[in-house]
Amino acid sequence: MKLAFDERTEAFRREFDAWLDANAPAPEETTERPRSTAHIPEWARRWQRKMFDAGWLVPGYPPAFGGRDASLLEQFVHREELARRGIYASFNPQGLSIIVPSILGFGTEEQKERWARPILRAEITAALGMSEPDAGSDLAGLRTSAVLDGDRFIVNGQKVWTSGAHDADVILTFVRTDPDAPKHKGISVLLIPTDTPGVTRRPFGSIQGKVDCDFNEVFFDDAVVPAENLLGALHEGWRVATGSLGHERAMLWLEYSERLQELVDRGGQVLLDHGLGDDAHALDWFGRLVTDSHALRLLGYRTLAKTEKGLVPTEQSILKLLGSEAIQRSTLDVLEVLGPDGLDPTVRSAPAEPLNLDVWTEGWFDLYLRTFSMTIAGGTSQIQRNIVAEHVLGLPR
Amino acid sequence: MDFQLTDEQVELQRIAREVAERECPPSLVRAVVEEDADVDALGKTLVDLEWHGLTVPAEDGGSGATAVELVVVLEELGWAADPTPFLATTTQHLPLVRDCLQGAVRAQRLAAIAAGSPGAAVHSPGTIAARADGDGWVLDGSAPHVLDGDRADQLAIVATSDDGVGVFLAPGDKATVVREPSVDGSLHLTTVHLDGVRVPWERAATGPAVAAAVERAHEEAVTGLAAVMVGASQRILDLVLDHVRQRHQFGVPIGSFQAVKHMAVDLYTAIERARAVVHFAALTIAEDDDRRRLAASIAKAAAGDAQRIAAQHGIQLFGGLGYTWENDLQLYLRRAKAGEMLLGTAHEHRLAASRLVLSDLTTTEAAR
């Protein structure tokens, strides 16, 4: 047990830091903001490609896919430096962190070239079609059907919550290919171009506002998809689902940890600005936030160390729970300090920063609402508790 | 950060759990509470394992390990509600001797501690005064809530002198020590009265450097107590999990109900959160990192949160069966709760942590 990483890892961090200092785009280049999680402004496409070409986009990948075969710890400090500086490597986050690893993990060489590399190079963007109106937490209950007909699938059904679908070029879509098999067994995954006839995308506003349109309903009406767009083996889609989401969850805690650190800095400033530096109630919730912030990072470091040793950190599932709920509670704590100012959406929680399309440019109320994306999406807190109870504590189903 | 116990530390943890389970069963703790049974056999086992000297430097007769090894052991002893004066000796008395006293007195006392001589800390500069007189100091005053004051060979007394805060080493039998009633019957809380107790110059240390060392010693005491609380909370979780797996109602184990599961998970999460920051606090002590003061406070705060949920959910999930004297749950619950009440509650430590962080923020802001 040591406070520092090994020297090799720290050298890697310094090298990346120096590259960022020399290559990050200037603020005046970055004024155009993305309108969804699958819309990348031109300057951000150039930025993502620059990282790809330099082998800094996903350092764990081989050079052919924008990396440098970095070790797990090196990949971690890379993420840590990006998060610390509030830099987004990609403005199509689901493309980079879920869809590309799924294609590289389960796809053919042709699929990697045709889909993964263009997503990595920000030539195209991708969306993830998992949830359906009646398949949310119970994802395996999905009903969108794909019937194999010679060398093509005929797809019918509906997805929902498909972030960025209206701006995406392709949707990684989970479909039912064997309606007679047990529900986890009859699922397959298709890469469906969004310009396929029969695919209709309908964006809708979030609780943030009518114009905050990232979510989509996506309808498939006899959409014809070439059989070569099948990712992984037929009926084996559940493996892709667990693989993709597992990848997403492995380092999710780092984003939560950075958010908590930002809450410490920003929330602490709000508290001081309101003359609450000696207020016992304020110091109490702030102390809880400081404790949560440390605890989450430390627990994250522990799972990292275990993973690096080849162990399976089963307790990793508490990180999402702990992080998301701490962020939600603390954001509300800060909001309540503001009083009537908290009602004014133009009172920003932080100044806008280049390369960071972060929630900090919003007011505290909107920021609070957005925390529910953490306690609901990617497995609700209730589902997380069930998982921990059954898989970590060994309680009966 | 390499935030993982080393193989040696994991092995120490395994041995500590084995010893705690075998040598300190609930029946022993219960016998201590109910009939004041003696704890000499357990005490001797801990001496034989050389755990008293874990944080005594090797050149002073200890094993020269770090605070990390000590908290690993303390957590397991907390898990067993250890009724010996190990906690007071290793986390309260020892750091004052090691980091404040000098020369032969220090060396001899450290060697004695490593060999199992119990000690206590009387940390009460507000109520104990030391005045210079002839060939040494004379101490007067009283201090409440001193852990193991009645079982200490030596007392390390933090008192106020003309030369500022100092540390004074006096034999336990020079003080009048009165055991205080406590809900945790296996924890010795005492009031220590000093009435003209003489301490020779060489058995004392005063001055600004000593005051700083006293603060640092206090961080070890706080971290050690937090480790004990994590252990006691873990024991409650273990008991609860056994219970909800075995207890059937409506034809199924009650642990299959989501309402029960979610309470158990909240307790588990609180314990993991606390354990992480306790290990971090120990690590900052081991590496003498700048964050050690903050880390000790968040460790105690998080341990306090864990014990709160442990007591609350622990009794509730056991139902009527938890509401009995016979159930071992109460032994560990009392230890966890005692930990919360001593050396600052979670609330007080959250305030302390906040003040440290906010003062850093102010400094950063001013520097801009």
Phi first, then psi, for residue B36 (nearest 5°) are 55, 40
Q: How many angstroms separate the CA atoms of B86 and B77, rounded?
A: 9
Q: Which domain holds residue A361?
A: 251-392
Quote the distance between the C-alpha of residue A124 and its chain's center.
18
- For residue B4, which residues of chain A lie inside 8 Å, CB to CB? 1, 302, 305-306, 309
The last residue of a domain, from among A183, A203, A233: A233
Q: Tell if the CB–CB gap between B350 and A294 is shorter than 8 Å.
A: no
Three-state DSSP class for residue A200: strand
Would A31 be classed as within a structural domain? Answer: yes
Identify the CATH homologous superfamily for domain B210-360. Butyryl-CoA Dehydrogenase, subunit A, domain 3 (1.20.140.10)
Q: Contact B80/B46 with Cβ under 8 angstroms?
A: no
Provide the pLDDT for residue A252.
Answer: 82
My answer on whether A134 and A49 are in the same domain is no
pLDDT at B328 over 80: yes
pLDDT tens figures, A303-335: 988 888 888 777 778 999 999 999 999 999 999
In this prediction, residues A23-45 reach a mean pLDDT of 89
Does residue A100 belong to any structural domain of this protein?
no
Is A87 a member of any domain? yes
Q: Are residues A259 and A226 in the same domain?
A: no
pLDDT-derived band at A245, boundaries 50, 70, 90? low
Which residues of A are less than 8 Å from B294 in CB distance? Answer: 290
Does any domain span residue A75?
yes
Strand A187-193 versus strand A170-176 pairing type: antiparallel
The answer to whether position A34 is within a domain reads yes
CB–CB contact B351 A284 (8 Å): yes
Q: Give every CB contact of residue B324 below 8 A, 6+ residues apart in sequence.
A: none
The answer to whether residue A69 scores a pLDDT higher than 90 is: yes
Cβ distance B223 to B95 under 8 Å? Answer: no
Mean per-residue pLDDT of chain A: 92
- Based on the number of CB atoms within 10 Å of its own CB, is B173 exposed (0-12), middle (13-18) or buried (19 or more)? exposed
Q: Where are the domains of chain B?
A: 119-205, 210-360
The pLDDT of residue B121 is 98
Q: What is the pTM assigned to this prediction?
A: 0.94
CB contact under 8 A, A2 and B362: no
Q: What is the pLDDT of residue A359?
A: 42
Looking at the fold, whether A256 and A226 belong to one and the same domain comes out as no
| Weakest-pLDDT range from A1-5, B282-286, B307-311 | A1-5
Mean pLDDT of A2-21: 94
pLDDT at A223: 98
- Would you tell me the crossing angle of helices A280-308 and A317-338 to the nearest 10 degrees? 160
**Quick one: average pLDDT of B338-355?**
98
Q: Average the pLDDT over each of A303-317, A343-357, B20-34, B290-304 and give the range with the smallest value.
A: A343-357
Which tens digit of pLDDT belongs to each residue from A165-224?
A: 999 999 999 999 999 999 899 999 999 999 999 999 999 999 988 888 899 999 999 999
Look at residue B175 and tell me whether its pLDDT is greater than 70. Answer: yes
Residue range B119-205, CATH number = 2.40.110.10
Residue range A27-31: average pLDDT? 83
**Chain A touched by B353 (CB under 8 Å):** yes
Checking if the pLDDT of A355 tops 90, the result is no
Specify the length of chain A in residues.
Answer: 397
Q: Phi/psi class of residue B93: alpha, beta or left (left: φ > 0; alpha: ψ in -120 to 50)?
A: alpha
Cβ–Cβ below 8 Å for A268 and B272: no
Distance between B344 CA and the closest CA of chain A, angstroms: 14
Q: Are residues A334 and A226 in the same domain?
A: no
Question: Contact B362/A394, CB-based, under 8 Å?
Answer: no
Question: Could you report the per-residue pLDDT of A274-297, keeping only the tens digit for each?
Answer: 999 999 999 999 999 999 999 999
Give the residue carrying structure tokens 């479909």. A175
Pick from A75, A91, A107: which residue ends a domain? A91
CATH number at residue A220: 2.40.110.10
Say what percent of chain A tops pLDDT 90.
Answer: 73
Q: Is A290 on the interface with B (CB under 8 A)?
A: yes
Q: Identify whether residues A180 and A306 lie together within a single domain.
A: no
3-state DSSP assignment of residue A73: helix
B44-83 per-position pLDDT tens digit = 999 999 999 999 999 999 998 999 999 999 999 999 999 9
Chain B positions in Cβ-Cβ contact with residue A261 (cut-off 8 Å): none
Q: Residue B3 pLDDT more than 70?
A: yes
Antiparallel, parallel or unpaired: β A209-226 and A152-160? antiparallel
CATH number at residue A331: 1.20.140.10
Q: Give kind and range of the element (H or E) at residue B191.
A: strand B189-200
Within a domain: A101: no
Domain count, chain A: 3
Judge if A299 and A359 occupy the same domain: yes
Distance, CA of A278 to CA of B362 (rounded, Å): 14
For residue B368, name the pLDDT band (cuts at 50, 70, 90).
low
pLDDT of residue A363: 87
Please report residues of A whose CB lies closer than 8 A to that of B277. Answer: 291, 294-295, 298
pLDDT of res. A352: 66
Cβ-proximal residues to B25 (8 Å cutoff; 6+ apart), any chain: B80
- CA of A282 to nearest chain B CA: how many angstroms apart? 9
Residues A164 and A285 in one domain: no
Q: Is the pLDDT of residue B18 over 80?
A: yes
> Which of 95-114 (A) contact B at CB < 8 A?
none
A294 vs B: CB within 8 A = yes
Q: How confident is the model at residue A357 (pLDDT cuts 50, 70, 90)?
A: low
Q: Quick one: A178 and A69 in the same domain?
A: no
Answer yes or no: are the C-beta atoms of B71 and B279 closer than 8 Å.
yes
**What pLDDT, on a 0 to 100 scale, did the predictor assign at position B171?**
98
- In whole angstroms, what is the distance from residue A61 CA to residue A63 CA? 6
Nearest Cα residue in chain B from A306: B4
Among left, alpha and beta (phi > 0; psi -120 to 50; other), residue B148 is: left
| Residue A358: band (very low, low, confident or very high) from pLDDT cuts 50, 70, 90 | low
Put simply, whether B279 touches A (Cβ < 8 Å) is: yes
Backbone region of residue A198 per phi and psi (left: phi > 0; alpha: psi in -120 to 50; beta: other values): left
Contact status of A395 with chain B (Cβ, < 8 Å): yes
pLDDT digits (tens, 9 = 90+) for A75-98: 999 999 998 888 888 999 999 999
Chain A residues within 8 A of B262 when measuring between CB atoms: 382, 385-386, 389
Are residues A204 and A284 part of one domain?
Answer: no
- Percent of residues, chain A, with pLDDT higher than 70: 95
Residue of A324, A231, A301, A355 whose CA lies nearest to A76: A301
Q: pLDDT value at position A261?
A: 92
Q: What is the mean pLDDT of chain B?
A: 96
